[in-house]
């Protein structure tokens, strides 16, 4: 009997072609492969069974320990480059890389201990080419097969199999006619002005005689809402990507730094040994160290582009301000480093409402995007407290920045043209007039794109996604709608999209963003305390939060969220029956209970979702603080 490790449905076919089948044991981390094997039916189990989400949390802790173990070497590279904070940009990419490598290395070690006649790994032994702006492995890379090839173990059989690239190219989020129409309805005046600026090619704008220059890098909801106020501030407004030097072709070259790859790998290897990763420590450390060196080579070229943009764009640094959305671009960070060195300031606007609510952000706040700018613009007091009051881990000596509360953008906090959006989305989703629409919004699987600790593993998430889709939603009064996350992390589609779709009358939607569909809902069920929660609270209807203890909330956040919404702990026996009993109450009963939570909801929103300000109204205060600090 063989024990066969597969990561896709086509890998199953490749193994069957080699003569393996129902007499063998199969293991996987892929939800689709797991369900496909069950349907054959072949004996199958999750490779991490019976381990719960503690496995990925432990991998995340080890990953953070590895990042801390190389902090001194990253600092030395930063000083050699004369690029302040570049080590944070590197560290925040090393962390998810190590999460994926450590997690799967530990699972591979368990697999190798299997007491069977033959151990078989199916997949491609080649890692995909490293994307220039990231350190991570490819989202579809078969790490177990890569590890197996590096081990060169005669007792381990490798069936080489590369997933069809043609099928991969089809697995992407596709805008629909409905989402395009709803996006038109979402055109607030600030967003319309931003779109016009984009349509005109982001020309340099200046309305007034002020000497200040604001350079915008990137795009998110907060930046778009701030744009009109920036325009009337009298400042010159330009878009970073429009400068000629930004668009120069950048390729990694030879690392011009004195980075010792062997020393880097040795520090990582020692840390892995100290944290229980032994058998594959050499493979993981060498793989990560090589990628870090390549990334620094790329950053050296990025720095040249940033210097060129600075020379082209900045005439008076002390009156120049670089404002970026989300994580900002690498060229923007390089430009900002030059700007800060000459007396200017930078700011980064947070994406969505999330930080300060879960332990997930707290674990790695010291190497997060918040540490890469002078000012971090957040939505609510909890996020501000997280980044302003956080500890400074040994070995990092992080320069303090300031978190400023700017509130939640209007396009997130409410639904523009709600009546139109509601009529359109309900028609498209097949909700009959007068029916109640119950929309469940679930997260994505992680695979190689791991950010741990603080989130559930794919196996535990899959178990209750299936329970929700097959045991709860079909029994809901009204029209149940299952909204899947719109991106893919595995080669195969989500099982609930094709292989194990929820039965009628559940409508399953993959493509498109939840924000374009939320107007249709009379009740929203969701499981995430990341950016989804802001869109959910802006839906204007009763909310049900499905709590997974592996998605760790801070104690005060959990207590206040329980008082604000319908709160279901999915670790408790009978959670599905409890959920159904809530959903199948009459509209008047649900409405009364929802209204009774209003004060609790107001307290939760004020602490974790948004202040009573908005990004637009925050602009004058932001500019005053920025240029006051620059003087």
The per-residue pLDDT for 451 is 87
- The count of other CB atoms within 10 Å of the CB of residue 53 is 23
The per-residue pLDDT for 189 is 87
Pair type for strands 437-441 and 156-160: unpaired
The per-residue pLDDT for 366 is 86
| pLDDT band, residue 280 (cuts 50/70/90) | very high
Residue 233 token pair: 């501030």
**Sign of dihedral through CA atoms 268, 269, 270, 275?**
positive
Q: Which residue has the higher pLDDT, 609 or 185?
A: 609
pLDDT tens column, 372-414: 999 999 999 998 888 876 556 555 655 556 788 999 888 888 9
Cis peptide before 246 (omega within 30 of 0): no
Residue 222, in any domain of the structure: no
Q: Which residue has the higher pLDDT, 34 or 50?
A: 34
The predicted model gives 67-91 an average pLDDT of 94
The last residue of one of the domains, among 170, 201, 235, is: 170
CA distance 136 to 141: 10
Residue 345, in any domain of the structure: no
Residue 389, in any domain of the structure: no
The predicted model gives 61-68 an average pLDDT of 96
What is the 3 state secondary structure string of 507-547? EEECCCCHHHCHHHCCEEEECCCCCHHHHHHCCCCCEEEEE
Backbone φ and ψ of 69, nearest 5°: -70, -20
The predicted model gives 342-357 an average pLDDT of 87
Could you tell me the CATH number of the domain that includes residue 464?
A: 3.40.50.2000
Residue 599, in any domain of the structure: yes
The predicted model gives 426-441 an average pLDDT of 95
The per-residue pLDDT for 393 is 58
The per-residue pLDDT for 174 is 65
CA distance 451 to 448: 9
Q: Alpha helices, DSSP H only, in 314-417?
A: 330-341, 359-363, 381-388, 410-413
* Burial class (CB within 10 angstroms; exposed 0-12, middle 13-18, buried 19+) of 491: buried
- The count of other CB atoms within 10 Å of the CB of residue 356 is 25
The per-residue pLDDT for 29 is 95
Residue 525 token pair: 């069920």
What is the 3 state secondary structure string of 73-126? HHHHHHHHHCCCCHHHHHHHHHHHHHHHHHHHHHHHHHHHCCCCCEEEEEECCC
The per-residue pLDDT for 342 is 95
Residue 605, in any domain of the structure: yes
CA distance 561 to 558: 5
The predicted model gives 25-50 an average pLDDT of 94
The per-residue pLDDT for 177 is 75
What Cα–Cα distance (Å) separates residue 160 from each residue in 47, 61, 82, 163? 19, 32, 45, 10
The per-residue pLDDT for 327 is 79
The predicted model gives 77-84 an average pLDDT of 94
Backbone φ and ψ of 262, nearest 5°: -65, -40
Residue 613 has pLDDT above 90, yes or no: no
Q: Is the pTM of this model over 0.85?
A: yes
The predicted model gives 467-489 an average pLDDT of 95
Q: Which residue has the higher pLDDT, 208 or 26?
A: 26
The per-residue pLDDT for 172 is 55
pLDDT tens column, 529-554: 888 899 999 999 999 999 988 888 99
The last residue of one of the domains, among 134, 150, 170, is: 170
The last residue of one of the domains, among 170, 203, 220, is: 170
Are 222 and 216 in contact by the 8 Å Cβ rule? The answer is: no
- Domain hosting residue 145, numbered range: 2-56+82-170
Residue 168 has pLDDT above 60, yes or no: no
The per-residue pLDDT for 547 is 93
| pLDDT band, residue 52 (cuts 50/70/90) | low
The per-residue pLDDT for 601 is 97
Pair type for strands 402-405 and 507-509: unpaired
Residue 166 has pLDDT above 90, yes or no: no
CA distance 221 to 531: 12
Residue 387, in any domain of the structure: no
pLDDT tens column, 283-294: 999 999 999 998
| pLDDT band, residue 129 (cuts 50/70/90) | confident
Residue 443, in any domain of the structure: yes
Go through the chain and tell me how many residues it has. Answer: 631
CA distance 314 to 335: 9
Residue 371, in any domain of the structure: no
CA distance 414 to 586: 25
The per-residue pLDDT for 431 is 96
| pLDDT band, residue 524 (cuts 50/70/90) | very high
Backbone φ and ψ of 384, nearest 5°: -60, -45
The per-residue pLDDT for 175 is 66
Q: Which residue has the higher pLDDT, 507 or 326?
A: 507
DSSP 138: P
Could you tell me the CATH number of the domain that includes residue 137?
A: 3.40.50
Our count of domains for the chain comes to: 2
pLDDT tens column, 559-604: 999 999 999 999 899 999 999 999 999 999 999 999 999 999 999 9
The per-residue pLDDT for 136 is 87
The per-residue pLDDT for 356 is 87
């Amino acid at each position: 009997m063989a024990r066969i490790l597969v990561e896709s449905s086509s890998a199953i076919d490749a193994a069957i072609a080699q003569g393996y089948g129902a007499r063998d044991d199969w293991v996987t981390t892929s939800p689709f492969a797991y369900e496909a094997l069950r349907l054959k039916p072949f004996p199958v189990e999750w490779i991490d069974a019976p381990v719960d989400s503690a496995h990925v949390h432990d991998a995340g802790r080890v990953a953070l320990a590895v990042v801390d173990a190389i902090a001194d070497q990253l600092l030395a590279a930063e000083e050699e480059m004369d690029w302040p904070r570049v080590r944070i940009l590197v560290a925040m990419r090393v962390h998810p890389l190590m999460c994926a490598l450590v997690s799967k290395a530990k699972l591979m070690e368990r697999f190798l201990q299997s007491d069977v006649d033959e151990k078989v790994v199916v997949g491609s032994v080649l890692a995909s080419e490293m994307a220039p702006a990231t350190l991570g492995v490819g989202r579809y890379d078969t790490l177990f097969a890569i590890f197996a090839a590096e081990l060169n173990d005669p007792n381990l059989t490798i069936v080489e199999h590369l997933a069809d690239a043609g099928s991969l190219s089809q697995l992407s989020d596709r805008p629909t006619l409905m989402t395009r129409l709803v996006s038109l309805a979402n055109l607030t005046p600030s967003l319309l002005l931003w779109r016009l600026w984009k349509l005109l090619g982001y020309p340099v704008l200046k309305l007034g005689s002020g000497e200040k220059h604001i350079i915008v890098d990137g795009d998110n909801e907060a930046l778009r809402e701030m744009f009109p106020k920036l325009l009337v501030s009298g400042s010159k407004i330009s878009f970073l990507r429009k400068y000629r030097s930004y668009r120069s072709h950048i390729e990694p070259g030879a690392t011009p730094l004195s980075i010792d790859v062997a020393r880097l790998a040795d520090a990582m290897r020692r840390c892995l040994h100290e944290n229980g990763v032994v058998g594959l420590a050499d493979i993981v450390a060498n793989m990560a160290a090589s990628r870090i060196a390549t990334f620094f080579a790329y950053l050296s070229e990025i720095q040249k582009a940033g210097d060129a943009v600075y020379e082209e764009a900045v005439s008076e640094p002390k009156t120049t301000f670089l404002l970026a959305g989300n994580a900002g671009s690498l060229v923007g960070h390089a430009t900002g480093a030059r700007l800060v060195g000459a007396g200017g300031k930078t700011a980064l606007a947070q994406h969505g409402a999330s930080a300060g609510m879960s332990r997930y952000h707290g674990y790695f706040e010291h190497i997060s995007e918040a540490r890469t700018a002078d000012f971090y613009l957040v939505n609510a007091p909890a996020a501000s407290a997280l980044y302003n009051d956080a500890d400074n881990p040994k070995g990092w000596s992080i320069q303090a920045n300031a978190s400023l509360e700017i509130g939640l953008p209007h396009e997130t906090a409410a639904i523009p043209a709600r009546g139109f959006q509601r009529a359109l989305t309900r028609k498209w989703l097949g909700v009959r007039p007068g029916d109640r629409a119950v929309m469940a919004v679930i997260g994505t699987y992680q695979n190689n794109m791991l950010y741990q600790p603080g989130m559930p593993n794919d196996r535990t998430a899959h178990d209750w996604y299936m329970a929700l889709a097959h045991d709860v939603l079909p029994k809901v009064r009204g029209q149940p709608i299952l909204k899947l996350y719109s991106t893919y992390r595995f080669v195969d589609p989500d099982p609930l999209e094709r292989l194990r779709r929820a039965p009628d009358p559940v409508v399953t939607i993959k493509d498109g963003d939840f924000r374009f569909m939320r107007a249709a809902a009379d009740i929203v069920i969701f499981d995430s305390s990341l950016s989804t929660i802001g869109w959910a609270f802006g839906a204007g209807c009763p909310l049900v939060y499905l709590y997974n203890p592996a998605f760790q909330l801070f104690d005060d956040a959990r207590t206040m969220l329980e008082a604000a919404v319908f709160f279901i702990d999915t670790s408790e026996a009978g959670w599905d029956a409890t959920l159904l009993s809530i959903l199948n109450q009459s509209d008047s009963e649900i409405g009364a209970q929802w209204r009774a939570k209003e004060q609790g909801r107001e307290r939760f929103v004020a602490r974790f979702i948004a202040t009573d300000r908005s990004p637009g109204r925050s602009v004058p205060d932001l500019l005053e603080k920025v240029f006051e600090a620059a003087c």
